Amino acid sequence: MAAVALERSRLLERENALRRKAEEQREAKEAEPKYEFFVKWKGFSYIHCEWVGEEVILSQNQGKARLIRFLRKDEGTRLMQGLDEDAEDEDPVPEDFLLVDRIIAERTVDLEVEEGSQGPSTRLEYLVKW
């Protein structure tokens, strides 16, 4: 099944948290609040999580269903914990998910160098266990 491709060809795996957009915080009188969601992309580690707008999620295959499911789950969690709507989670990704456990291997990769370029022609890549 093909999904709608995003920049960098990433697929939505899960939404981890939500927050109001910065401009919406300044203009609190808007009729309909706009939110950003902290997203973990399928096939990428937690270090590549990022805040994206609702429209990006809705452009994905099954994005609307995922968003509705997340909002229901998030609403239930907030009610059980007694949080108000404006309270933001401390850290949606546990800190130990971002720490390197060990480097398993390394390799040197040749880069495509343009003629006349003075930059390095190789770089190191690491296979890391998180």
129 closest CA partner among 94, 99, 109: 99
Task: Work out the burial of residue 44: count CB atoms within 10 Å of its CB; fewer than 13 is exposed, 13-18 middle, 19 or more buried.
Answer: middle
Query: What pLDDT score was predicted for residue 45?
Result: 84
All residues at 6 or more sequence positions from 65 whose CB lies less than 8 Å from its CB, including other chains: none
More confident residue, 105 or 71: 105
The range of the structural domain enclosing residue 104 comes to: 99-129
pLDDT > 90 fraction of the chain, expressed in percent and rounded: 9
Query: Are residues 77 and 125 located together in one domain of the fold?
Result: no
Q: Count the Cβ atoms, other than its own, within 10 Å of residue 4.
A: 12
Query: Are residues 86 and 110 located together in one domain of the fold?
Result: no
Query: Are residues 23 and 65 located together in one domain of the fold?
Result: yes
Query: What pLDDT score was predicted for residue 3?
Result: 34
In a domain, 75, yes or no: yes
- Residue 42 is part of a domain; what is its CATH number? 2.40.50.40
Distance CA 52, CA 13 (A): 13
Kindly report, residue by residue over 34-79, the tens digit of the pLDDT.
Answer: 788 888 888 888 888 888 888 888 888 888 888 888 888 877 776 6
Is pLDDT above 50 for 84? Answer: yes
In a domain, 1, yes or no: no
All residues at 6 or more sequence positions from 87 whose CB lies less than 8 Å from its CB, including other chains: 78
Mean pLDDT of 79-97: 65
Distance CA 16, CA 61 (A): 18
Domain count, the chain: 2
Query: Are residues 48 and 103 located together in one domain of the fold?
Result: no
- Enter the pTM of the model: 0.49
Query: Are residues 78 and 114 located together in one domain of the fold?
Result: no
